Structure 1
Amino acid sequence: MSENHTTVADAEMPLYGALGMTFMQFPLLRHLSQSDAEVIVSGVPYDMSTSGRSGARFGPEGIRSASVNMVWEGARWPWNFALDDHLKVEDAGNVLFKHGEPQTLVDNLEAHISQIMDAGKTALTFGGDHFITLPVLRAYAKKHGPVAIIHFDAHTDTYSGGTKYDHGTLFHHAVNEGLVDTEHSLQIGIRTAYETDGHPFEVLDAAWVNGHGPEATLQRIKDRVGDKQVYVSFDIDGLDPSFAPGTGTPVSAGLSIDTALKIIRGLRGLNLIGMDVVEVAPAYDHADITSLAGATLALEYLYVVAANKGAGGDYLSK
């Protein structure tokens, strides 16, 4: 066992999992026990649980690469402070697992996130397909108990008919395992069929969000979540394909990136304890706009975390 990662004895780093650069050029995590970072970024180059087009294994690489477009800005608009001045972030690279054996990914990812939290830090995780959220939530629930979820997606991922490793069943398993505080959780942007009777989450579907706008959506989120510890899971197909074509299961009539960013930005004041961005598949992208959207959403989340510490006050503009 290394200080930064827990791995099975014969785990291997897949070739497509090699770390080319860090997110936002944040420092590379060297020793977790000696790090003073508050948020640890991790990549999970895994897409063996997809039911549509594969390719999300390249998501962490795509998001990190696209993030260089935002490094120059310093104080990101519309915030009035530079993130580095108020929040320390390091990038741990990619989680190790043995290619072709999904259970090694499950075990190693849960252990990796547990180490981050045991060190008193929170996690920002880049998938990979959406299945990776399940072992992450297991680690969070082990530390915090059931957590509230704000889940952006075109699909509910609560389907019960899938396999053990399936990006469409993760919230079915998470609810059954008691990982999620469903009374304080929401799903946002849904626009595919699901069983509404007995559905465990409040759903703000894409038509409702697009019709009512970010402010009404935020009010529903805050009413639902309250002061509970909340984890944000953002499947990039929650965005309309015009803003995020690079994903495995695109669905028309989704959220705009502007709407999504306004909602993320509006989460200030909530008790945020972690986030993932999943299902970015750069092979289907155009001009890296999906990777850029994923990187921008993740960076906006980090600004919210910094603002919750008291940094910067209000926006420069609204």
Structure 2
Amino acid sequence: MAGTPTYAVPPTFLGVSSRDPAADYVVAGVPIDIGTTNRSGTRDGPAAIRRASRMLTDGDHPEHWVEPARGSLADIGDFALALGDIGASLAMIEAQAAAIGHLIALGGEHGITLALLRALTKRLGRPIGLVHFDAHVDTWPNNFGQTYAHGSPFYHAINEGLVDPRRMIQVGIRSPVEKAVMDWTLAQGVTVLSAQTVQASTPAAVAARIAEVVGAEPAYLSFDIDVLDPAFAPGTGTPEIGGLASWQAQAMLRQLKAVRFVGMDVVEVAPAFDVAEITALAAATMVWEYLALAGSRAMR
């Protein structure tokens, strides 16, 4: 995007012009929020994240020294959904994701991750590791009687054998949660690092623990923007105080070079509740960090 002012960058992710689904890395929006349990509005998340990504188009990553926008990156637009129907929407998301090699999904609510994991593990033929940044464990068996919603994707992912819970780590957890839900999660073998545990440590130490848990086999990154404290990400449906600072999450991602990521999503950006675009920019930056990390790994 050299020579283009940031305010004039096209409204794709990082302003890329390619819509090739065969690119090495493919961005797609998943604008759905019918499974949210508090404030709706994440259907507008993909557009806001793309718009905020314009701030990341004017140079190389200052640590990995790659420019993701100049790599094999495409933005294929938004997935089609079934209006008002969670089950049918999940099936449509899975079918569209199945055709993409390395997908970066812009949510949308966190329930989309279940469909994305279904598609990915079918293609790989085995369960994968999971790095999950969030304020919430998202292992509730249901949400207010709803089987599929944004608080239950990993309950279903574990039960369906999509992820190996012994290679699953949750970072930044701090919300109210029934003890039975937490006990079930831990009993499956999931590693849970509370926000307080993370803040008492260092990004380098947390990154080392993440790499230790997921190991060398393929892993997926699911980044719920509410892992950040509302001071850094107010534009989300279920904000929880006491969260991570944006610099902490950014520093952790930069140090995950040993993890073999095969896909990513960033979810729960609700622009109607944002302030000065800071939530959308944080989400866009986490995707940019992921792409730069992948680019640096490819060069090694």
Q: Which TM-score applies when normalising by structure 1?
A: 0.86
Identity %, equivalent residues: 40
Whether 1:79 and 2:59 are equivalent positions in the alignment is no
**Counterpart in 1 of 2:17?**
27
Whether 1:307 and 2:292 are equivalent positions in the alignment is no
Q: CA–CA distance in 1 between the matches of 2:209 and 2:81? A: 39
For residues 239-260 of structure 1, the C-alpha deviation after alignment (integer angstroms, 9 at most, x for no partner) is: 0000000000000010110000
Whether 1:62 and 2:42 are equivalent positions in the alignment is no
**Counterpart in 1 of 2:109?**
129
**Counterpart in 2 of 1:113?**
97
For residues 253-286 of structure 1, the C-alpha deviation after alignment (integer angstroms, 9 at most, x for no partner) is: 1011000001111111211101000000000000
Q: CA–CA distance in 2 between the matches of 1:107 and 1:241? A: 32
Report the number of matched residues. Answer: 282
Report the Cα offset of residue 100 of structure 1: 1.8
Report the Cα offset of residue 222 of structure 1: 1.2
Matches within 5 A, 1:91-240: 91-116=75-100, 121-144=101-124, 145-162=126-143, 163-192=146-175, 193-194=177-178, 195-199=181-185, 200=188, 201-240=190-229
**RMSD, matched Cα:** 1.4
Q: Does the 8 Å CA contact 1:22/1:28 hold for their aligned counterparts? A: no
Report the Cα offset of residue 161 of structure 1: 3.3
**Local SS of the residue matching 1:27:** coil
Report the Cα offset of residue 103 of structure 1: 2.8
Q: CA–CA distance in 1 between the matches of 2:107 and 2:15? A: 18
Q: CA–CA distance in 2 between the matches of 1:189 and 1:77? A: 26
Paired amino acid for 2:99: Q
Report the Cα offset of residue 84 of structure 1: 4.3
Q: Does the 8 Å CA contact 1:190/1:203 hold for their aligned counterparts? A: yes
Paired amino acid for 2:63: P
**Counterpart in 2 of 1:48?**
34
Paired amino acid for 1:68: R
Q: Does the 8 Å CA contact 2:66/2:296 hold for their aligned counterparts? A: no
Paired amino acid for 1:171: F
Report the Cα offset of residue 104 of structure 1: 3.0
Q: Does the 8 Å CA contact 1:137/1:179 hold for their aligned counterparts? A: yes
Q: CA–CA distance in 1 between the matches of 2:32 and 2:134? A: 19
Q: Does the 8 Å CA contact 2:218/2:260 hold for their aligned counterparts? A: yes
Report the Cα offset of residue 79 of structure 1: 3.0
Q: CA–CA distance in 1 between the matches of 2:231 and 2:253? A: 19
Bigger shift: residues 268-277 or 291-300: 268-277
Bigger shift: residues 283-292 or 267-276: 267-276
Paired amino acid for 1:22: T
Q: CA–CA distance in 2 between the matches of 1:82 and 1:152? A: 24
Paired amino acid for 2:202: G
For residues 187-231 of structure 1, the C-alpha deviation after alignment (integer angstroms, 9 at most, x for no partner) is: 000002243324231001100001102111011111111112100
Paired amino acid for 2:42: A
Q: CA–CA distance in 2 between the matches of 1:179 and 1:75? A: 35
**Residues 174, 78 of structure 1: alpha-carbon distance in 2 compared, 3 angstrom cutoff:** same
Q: CA–CA distance in 2 between the matches of 1:270 and 1:161? A: 31
Paired amino acid for 2:102: T
Q: Where has structure 1 moved over 6 Å in runs of 4 or more?
A: none
Q: Which TM-score applies when normalising by structure 2?
A: 0.91
**Counterpart in 1 of 2:3?**
none
**Local SS of the residue matching 1:212:** coil
Q: Does the 8 Å CA contact 1:150/1:231 hold for their aligned counterparts? A: yes
Report the Cα offset of residue 45 of structure 1: 0.6
Q: Does the 8 Å CA contact 2:94/2:116 hold for their aligned counterparts? A: yes
